[in-house]
Chains A and B, each alone.
Chain A
Amino acid sequence: MTMALFDIVEGLPPNDDYIRILPEIVFSLFGMIIMVLDPIMDERRSQRTLGIVALIGAVAGLAATLYQSQQHFWGLAFWHMVKVDAFSVFFHFVVAAITILVILSSYEYMEVQQIRAGEYYGLILFGAVGMMLMSSAVELVLIFIALEISSISTYILAGFRRRSAISSEASVKYFLLGSFATAFFLYGIALMFGATGSTSIDKIGEALGQYTNGGGPILAYIGVALMFVGLGFKVAAAPFHVWTPDVYEGAPSPVVGFMSTAPKAAVFAVLLRVLFQGQAPGRVWLIWVAAALSMTIGNIAALVQDNVKRLLAYSSIAHAGYLLMAFAVWPQSDPKTGISAAMFYTASYAAMNVGAFAVVGHFAGAGERYVTLEDYSGLGKRSPALAAIFTIFLLSLIGIPAFGGFFAKFYVFSSAAKQNLMGLLLIGVLNSAVAAYYYLRIVVVMYMREPREEAPVAAVPLGLGIALGLSLAVTIFLGVFPRPVLDYLSRSVEQWR
């Protein structure tokens, strides 16, 4: 009897293990509080309260991440399924920060759109749990579960403008295609298990590391390719990008800001772990093709868009392509520059894109009516501050110096140059020149055209103001003083293995 009890206690994970998932615990807790509060509160007033609860939860989650970042908490937890290191802490921080920004910018949006929103905030928090877990999981099955947690939340969030047909379309489309994609991912895991006898990334890496020149059994090649299909879908990399414009157009703008940055960051974290820690065979060419296609398709399709949300959707495909360039690393060479370039890119892309969608969401007005380029005519006159902020985000997306986007792109390109991938580099720089055109179109419309129709611009409320201020500050900070972040990244890459 005593023996059995002892066994159970012995079998429980040590206390530090719980701290290694502390941010996830905090987020889930607050998500559940919201779900419980929602039905018992007055329908008309619940919105504000729940938003504040969610914000407190997200800030607490961020604090938990910072607490967790102390070095003596680093290590494996829960039977080698979760790994806390500087790498995972970075992505936790990014996801938590994005969540805070999105909650802040949703606050007023929900009221303007007249969406009743109890579970909205809950879903954002649950989604963030999945994304955080993805970045710290080192076990493919757990990664799959985390991916599903995050995906299911975003499927629902995409359909939150219930009165709008395109929003429901977005949700269904995203759900159906997304389910297929995760099925591919799962199949890939199964094949990897068949090829290496394990689902732990470290063990897979050990097994595949025996092969010289980054090769492996044929089963592993197929497994990696299938997993890449699933993950490529989530980051909207071509040729798995077709859902992106429709879903981004239909989904509520703050949600688009959320799902174009946070899940992407998390999935890129998974890709980095699977490809490099897992020694995935055949990765260079897989990445090469996907990156080249994403950049080219995204940028060329964006040229002809008249809807700003669709335009930004294609731009986000293109940015996934730039980001993938950092992953193109020859098997025998040192991936460190590429990894830290990719991490830097996620952070600065998150700041500028969340900010851009916050502006779009605010300007869209009730029912998201004003989302075409024409509606932005003369915004520079009607709302100078908002237009100036939007311009900075767009310039950063182009990659103009003094903003985070420039440095991110520069860093990614220079890592490709270091790998001697001149073809990819050339495709990349040409694409970034093409991209300048369509971002500039928005700027031109805002500043150089007379206001054609008086699309009303409401005053910027406090929550949105804070969100915009924060993303603006990060965008500029990363563009001028990238050093502290880069230092952190190179340290985190040093102790990666």
Chain B
Amino acid sequence: MTEIDFLPAEYWKRRASQRDQLYLLAIGAASLVLLLASVVHEASNAAQLRAQLNILETEYQDVSVHVEQVKQLEAKRAPLVFDAKFHTLLRARPSLSRAMVALATSCPSRLTLNAIRVKTTTVARPDPKHSATAGKATAARPTATGDGLAEQLEQFATQRELARVAVELTGVAESDLELAEFMERLENAGCFTEVSLGTSADSPSTGLSELRQFKIQCRLVEVF
């Protein structure tokens, strides 16, 4: 069986050319659609990020208010801490009346105290490194604060730190045994430290030759 084509060859060529052009147009359109989709995708991503950034900005503003409050409170706290330190230093003294009571209760019956001398002395700082750091601290604070009050406070603190309350007890005892008991009681009283015997000798006074005249040195415990 033979198939006979009645249409001219030109017609088929034109049809093929039109089809190819349509393909090209379709490819072009598809490419443009893809490009457009990419643009939309990128733009939506950017918009999401912008929205996220806006939310974070708002959150940052909110927490910044708290940080500002913290800074204000810290600025308010500095002078209060300064005052509190001064008051604490002022209070940091051992109680003399309590020490006197401790002395009276520690005194054995066969021992008489003739004199009690309490003197506040300042000792030299033993560690030179420590004094160097303290010096730096005193030098640094006034420049930051703008006046010498901080320096004065540091000096006062150092003065308090280096202050030692020395106690000297003079009296007579029947024997060295009473003296030893008295010293032991002083050490256990909780108010005194570094209890040491200065002298213990026969009393030169007339009528008291059997008594021992003594001198005891000790230090009041610092109460901070």
A and B bind: no
